[in-house]
Amino acid sequence: MAILSMREMLQQARSGAYAVGAFNILDYNSMRAVVDAAAELAAPVIIQTSVKTVLFWGYEPVVQWYRQLAGSVSVPIAIHLDHCKDLEVIRNCIKHGWTSVMIDASSKPFAENLALTQQVVKMAGPKNITVEAEMGAIVGVEDDIHVREQDAHLANVEEAERFCGQVSLDCFAPAIGTAHGVYKGEPKIAFDRLEKIAERTGLPLALHGGTGLSDEVFRRCISLGCAKVNISTQLKYAHIGGFVDYYHNHNKEYNPLKNLAAQYEKLKEGIIKDIQLFGSAGKA
């Protein structure tokens, strides 16, 4: 089975100055597109699940797809729970076989964020499950977490260093000016802050809000220490667009399997481009 801890995956990526794509899947078809794209490019990859997606399908079906798909290829594939505030969901994911979880207590004050993160590390550590935590507020909507533009704030360098010094994390997500969803204008990325946080924490950083960033922004963030790139909105658009476009162009056929095949191709095409851009092709 091609399962490798996200810890090793991200440490290798950080030292090799490339990033592993973490793609938010929606169902079996999108998970298959992620796995097939990674296998085709010999790339490590992270299957990312939002809380909503997990609760929609149930823990066991999602983890079964993962075992079946990851088990059929030789590239390393981790399964990671994205932004989660609910310790019960985290506990269930750990129990069912997720290899990695994210605790998002970033809306809480420093001490509370740290205490909750430490609690999750305590739950995950003995099972060798990796943990990501967040600091600052990333604008936009991800799952049920809404952050308005006026409430967004970047991670503080000193606080980030202090936080990461007090809990054993595998990946750290500082808010650096990216946003979840579709960008309205040119995002203002705090590259200097990103560089300092990467240096002072020494951790592989997660770049959230990947959809819509330019190639140049991706390259620069990766060169400064982002070893995990989160992509979600792109998959949502490909999921619906791939299916609907096929229907519009072939509406006499009325064969849903063909729509699903078109959806799969559209998803995979975008994922392949991302993996190539992030530099993880051939790194498996």
- Tell me, yes or no, if 144 is annotated catalytic: no
Closest distance of CB 258 from ligand 13P, Å: 27
Residue 174 binds ligand 13P, judged by CB under 6 A: no
Closest distance of CB 212 from ligand 13P, Å: 7
Question: Which 126-155 residues touch ligand 13P, going by CB under 6 A?
Answer: 142
* Choice from 209, 225, 242, 279 touching ligand 13P (CB under 6 A): 209
188 within 8 A of 177, measured Cβ to Cβ: yes
Helix axes 256-278, 28-41, angle to 10 degrees: 40
The residue type at 249? N
Closest distance of CB 263 from ligand 13P, Å: 18
Q: How far is the first Cα of the chain from the last one, in angstroms, to the nearest whole number?
A: 14
Question: Which 72-131 residues touch ligand 13P, going by CB under 6 A?
Answer: 82-83
Q: How far is Cα of residue 68 from the mean position of the Cα atoms in its chain?
A: 20
How many residues bind ligand 13P, per CB under 6 A? 15
Site stretch for ligand 13P (CB under 6 A), options 126-134, 188-196, 204-212, 256-264? 204-212
Which residues form the catalytic set? 82
By CB under 6 A, name the binding residues for ligand 13P.
24, 82-83, 142, 180-181, 208-211, 230-234
